[in-house]
Amino acid sequence: MTPEPRRAETAASPVTARLQGVGFGYADAPDVLRGIDLTLPRGSFHFLTGPSGAGKSTLLKLLTLAERPTTGRITLFGQDATEAPRALLPAFRRRIGTVFQDFRLLDHLSAFDNAALPLRLAGDRDHAADVEEMLRWVGLGRRMDARPPTLSGGEKQRLAIARAVLARPELIIADEPTGSVDKAMAEKLLRLFQTLNRQGTTLLIASHDETLARRSGAAVLRLDQGRLETVR
Partner 1 sequence: MTASRSRSSLLPRDAAGEPWLAAVIAVLCFLACLAAVGGAAADRAAHGWAGRLRAEATVQVRPRAGESGDTAAARAAETLSGVDGVAEAEALDRKAAEALLRPWLGDAILPDLAIPMLVAVRLDPDAPASAPTLSRALAQAGLDASVDDHSQWRGEVQGAAALITALAAAAFLLVAGAAGAAVVYAARAGLAANRAVVETLSLNGATDGFIAGQFMRRYGLLAAGSGLIGAGSAAALMTGLRLLGGSEGLTPALPVAWSDLILLSPVPLVAATVAVVAAHLAVMRDLGPRALGPGDRGR
Residues in touch with partner 1 (CB under 8 A): 25-28, 64-71, 82-83, 85-87, 89-90, 93-94, 98, 100, 104-110, 112-113, 116-118, 120-122, 125, 127-128, 131-132, 145, 163
Phi/psi-derived region of residue 52, left when phi > 0, alpha when psi is between -120 and 50, beta in every other case: beta
If the CB atoms of residues 82 and 157 are measured against partner 1, the closer one turns out to be 82
**What value, to the nearest 5°, has the Cα angle with vertex 34 and ends 30 and 40?**
140
Helix 111-121 to helix 128-137 angle (10° resolution) is 130
- Residue among 120 and 188 whose Cβ is closer to partner 1: 120
113/187 with CB nearer partner 1: 113
Q: How far is the CB of 189 from partner 1 (least distance, A)?
A: 20
The order of strands in the sheet holding 96-99 is 96-99, 171-175, 202-206, 45-49, 219-224, 227-230
**31 or 187: CB nearest partner 1:** 31
| Residue from 127, 123, 125 nearest 115 by CA | 127
Q: Cβ of residue 28: shortest distance to partner 1, in angstroms?
A: 8
Q: Tell me the closest approach of the beta carbon of residue 84 to partner 1, in angstroms.
A: 8
